[in-house]
Amino acid sequence: MTEPIEVELIINADGGVRCISDEALDLRALGKLQITRASHVEPDSDGNWFADMGPSSGPVLGPFRSRTEAIQAERWWLRRSAS
């Protein structure tokens, strides 16, 4: 038995669908995809991690101690900015 997954889809008035993509759901089932980078999650030379939200017209988040923390902040910012 597979575990249930949770994916938040935002459906625009024009019928377009936006979401934070991961591999939990095969988005191709929704139709033709247009995938756009929302951020860049990268380390600096000291091993700190940052989420640069510039591609989404947002700030640079961080520093974080781990990549996982930076990705959590990235997802939080994307969800908050979509509201």
CB neighbour burial string for 27-66, b if at least 16 within 10 angstroms, e if fewer: beeeeeeeeeebbebeeeeeeebbbbbeebebeebbebee
Domain range for 74: 10-82
* 2 falls within a domain: no
* 19 falls within a domain: yes
Q: Would you state the pLDDT for residue 1?
A: 66
* Max Cα distance, the chain (Å): 45
* 5 falls within a domain: no
Number of domains in the chain: 1
Q: Would you state the pLDDT for residue 53?
A: 97
Q: pLDDT tens, 2-30? A: 777 777 888 889 988 888 877 778 888 87
Q: pLDDT tens, 38-73? A: 999 999 999 999 999 999 999 999 999 999 999 999
Q: Would you state the pLDDT for residue 83?
A: 63
